[in-house]
Amino acid sequence: MTHTIVHPSSSESSFQPPAMAYRINCRQGHTHLLWVTLRLTAPQTDVLDLHLPVWTPGSYLVREYARHLQELTVTAADGTPLEWWKCTKNQWQVACTPGLELEVRYAIYAHELSVRTNHVDSSHAYFNPAAVCLYAPAYRDQPLTVTIEAPPDWRVTTSLQPLDKAGYTFWAANYDLLVDSPFEVGTHAVYTFEVAGKPHELAVWGEGNFEPKRAIADIQRIIATEASFFGGLPYDRYVFILHLTHKGYGGLEHLNSCSLIFHRFGFQQAEQYRRFLCLVAHEFFHLWNVKRIRPQAFEVFDYDTENYTTSLWFAEGVTSYLDQLIPLWAGLFDAAAYLKLLSESLNRYFHTPGRHVQSLSAASFDAWIKLYRPDENSINSQMSYYLKGELVALLLDLRIRLNFNHRRSLLDVLRRLWQQYCETGQGYTPDGLWETIETIADEDLGAWREQFIEGTADLPLQEWLAKVGLELVPEEALPYTGLQFKQEHGSLQVKAVLRDSPAEAVGLAAGDEIIALNGWRVTAEDWSERLREYQAGDTIQLTWFHDQQLCSRALTLGNPQPQYRLQCSANATASQRSHLVAWLGDTAASL
């Protein structure tokens, strides 16, 4: 079953009544409650089923939204109370007669500001319908309306089609489209602009050093660059919702919109602003890769449980690879800045012992229980499908480019997938995806898939980067202990102990507090300086508290684990430099 986007007729007389009609009251923001009223007609059964999703598409974690639902009542249209009962954690049933008009009323506690959840206070209301709107499965594929009740000076921003001139009532073709359409309600700033003749909106909530004129010009270039890959934009209108906060970072893609959260003062410093541009490029590229080119498991969402796929490495990893290249290709920063971003990814990969434990396909499948629930051992046992997927995409892109002298690239894989699956609305299987990759690469990559997608072999990064004249240069590093510390002033609180490390060998554990090195007090401020006095092979005496018990043992320092800087090799040939420019653009010529 697939769902198409349908817009209502502009003539109200030809508009059929919705199967479900929601009213969402945002007027009590100081209580952090959204009051929801759902009106619908009972189907031809004696029992009406109502569900609330347990997760939001694009964020692969069961978040149990029903835990925030309270004060549920169900009545007939005349106010007569109806019997109802809860049958599972997120499902309710109502005793009714067929054709009876019902009103379901409840509140949602909304005080978690993220792109995946809900937040309402006296300044605004932001919500994801999956975390707010009960639905009747019998009407999931039927049209619906949403009416927002808000203070008189508040406006509503969403990608859904408005039904009234005031802009408070909206229409969706089905529940899936509603779930894919977050709402921002309040006094937020709204900026409108066009790209390729299509209207776009940028809604900004919060204060900071955001410069709308500059940001919009850059966003327009990102949109135009991505549109050029596929020959146009696959929507009639698009909405960006941006929250400016003192902490937090992230984004969530939707069919015709995206939600972004970024540091309120992160727009003036060059490195932070580049990070913002990459975030925009990432979420916008999901228009194609995941929202329309998608794994088979996402053809029809099951909102009651996990939807498993082994292909998140492609959906997220390829998007992560391109989100750094797109601003580069759009002329928003140069090749030197890109290599710095890529260096950061490479270092995170090299410093993750879990890359030898968890494969990309396993990381994708287990996203529901691992990626979004990190603990002190995650770095030892897991590999992010974002991070390794990005680097696998890099290798695939370079392999295809060099084999065809840049007449083909990874973008051709995406274009072929767009042709194969967009028209039908079907999703790809892991084998179907790999078949398309091999078709574009024009070679058998079965062994490569076995090693790097299904297996845990180290990626041949240095080998392939050298083919385009790049080299990894190690920076000076401290002798290796295998300790990672929490970012706290003063005390040295152990955050994680890396596997097969000197620290693991002497029994240090997450949560321990190191207090002395060779008998002298050591703090977070002077740990690095003290360690610089020693070399690999030296033995030091560490003293720490473990569950309030004093421990002291000798630790033999290991070889430094350097940070790498990616740069153009002084020995790069003219051919290698030519490939580098063909890949990264003209600014690479000056590297």
Helix H, strand E, coil C: the string for 132-169 is CCCECHHHCCCCEEEEEECCCCCEEECCCEECCCCCCE
Mean per-residue pLDDT for 235-248? 95
Q: CB 508: neighbour CB atoms within 10 A?
A: 23
Same-domain check for residues 494 and 544: yes
**Rounded Cα gap, residues 348 and 339, in angstroms:** 14
Domain match, 371 and 389 both? yes
In three-state secondary structure terms, 211 is coil
- Report the mean per-residue pLDDT for the chain: 95
Q: Do residue 221 and residue 279 come from a single domain? A: yes
Residue 374 predicted with pLDDT over 60: yes
**Amino acid (1-letter code) at residue 256:** N
pLDDT tens sequence across 385-429: 999 999 999 999 999 999 999 999 999 999 999 999 887 789 999
Give yes or no: residues 550 and 574 share one domain: no
- With cut-offs at 50, 70 and 90, classify the pLDDT of residue 487: confident
45 falls within a domain: yes
Q: What percent of the chain has pLDDT over 70?
A: 97
Residue 12 has pLDDT above 50, yes or no: no
- Tell me the residue type at 350: F
**552 is a domain residue:** yes
What digits encode the pLDDT tens for the residues 452-486? 999 999 999 999 999 999 999 999 999 999 999 99
Question: What are the start-end ranges of the E strands in 179-283?
Answer: 183-186, 189-195, 198-205, 238-245, 250-253, 257-263
The whole-angstrom separation of Cα 514 and Cα 508 is: 9
Considering the chain, what percentage of its residues have pLDDT values greater than 90?
93
φ and ψ of 550, to 5 deg: -80, 130
Whether the full predicted model's pTM is greater than 0.85, yes or no, is yes
- Could you tell me the two tokens for 522? 């050591």
* pLDDT tens sequence across 407-418: 999 999 999 999
Q: At what angle do helices 335-350 and 270-285 cross, to 10 degrees?
A: 80
The arithmetic mean of pLDDT across residues 4-24, rounded, is: 62
Residue 6 has pLDDT above 80, yes or no: no
Domain co-membership, 283 together with 353:
no
508-512: average pLDDT: 96
From 186, 208, 223, the end of a domain falls on: 186
CATH of the domain at 312: 1.10.390.10
Q: How far is CA 65 from CA 113, 124, 479, in A?
A: 14, 20, 46
Checking if the pLDDT of 1 tops 70, the result is: no
Residue 157 within any structural domain of the chain: yes
- Give the helix/strand (H/E) hosting 467: none
Identify whether residues 241 and 349 lie together within a single domain.
no
Let me know whether 516 and 577 are in one domain: no
**Amino acid (one-letter) located at 97:** T
The pLDDT assigned to 248 comes to 85
Judge if 533 and 450 occupy the same domain.
no
Say if 225 falls within a structural domain: yes
Tally of domains in the chain: 4
Say if 294 falls within a structural domain: no
In a domain, 3, yes or no: no
pLDDT score of 488 more than 90: no
- Rounded Cα distance, 276 and 271, in Å: 9
The CATH number that applies at residue 139 is 2.60.40.3650
Parallel, antiparallel or unpaired: strands 183-186 and 124-127: antiparallel
473 is a domain residue: no
Question: Which tens digit of pLDDT belongs to each residue from 127-165?
Answer: 999 999 999 999 999 999 999 999 999 999 999 999 988
Q: What is the pLDDT of residue 13?
A: 36
Q: Do 327 and 401 lie in a common domain?
A: yes
pLDDT per position as a tens digit, 283-311: 999 999 999 999 999 999 999 999 999 99
516-534: pLDDT as tens digits: 999 999 999 999 999 999 9
**What is the rounded average pLDDT of the residues 501-511?**
97
Report yes or no on 155 lying in a domain: yes
Residue 473's H or E segment, with its range, is strand 470-474
CA nearest to 48, candidates 68, 16, 19, 69:
19
DSSP 50-102: EE--SSBTTB-S---GGGGEEEEEEEETTS-B--EEEEETTEEEEE--TT-EE
Same domain for 404 and 313: yes
Number of C-beta neighbours around residue 534 at 10 A: 15
Q: Do 448 and 583 fall into the same domain?
A: yes
- Which tokens is 146 given? 């949403």
Distance CA 62, CA 256 (A): 23
Please say if the pLDDT value at position 15 is more than 70.
no
Contact yes or no for 148/168 (Cβ under 8 A): yes
pLDDT band at 167 (very low <50, low <70, confident <90, very high): confident
Domain that holds residue 530: 483-556
Q: For residue 342, what pLDDT is reported?
A: 98
Can you give the pLDDT at residue 193?
A: 98
First CA to last CA across the chain, in angstroms?
Answer: 51
Same domain, 489 and 455: no
How confident is the model at residue 16, as a pLDDT? 63
In degrees, to the nearest 5, what angle opens at C-alpha 188 toward C-alphas 145 and 287? Answer: 60
pLDDT at 3: 39
pLDDT of residue 422: 80
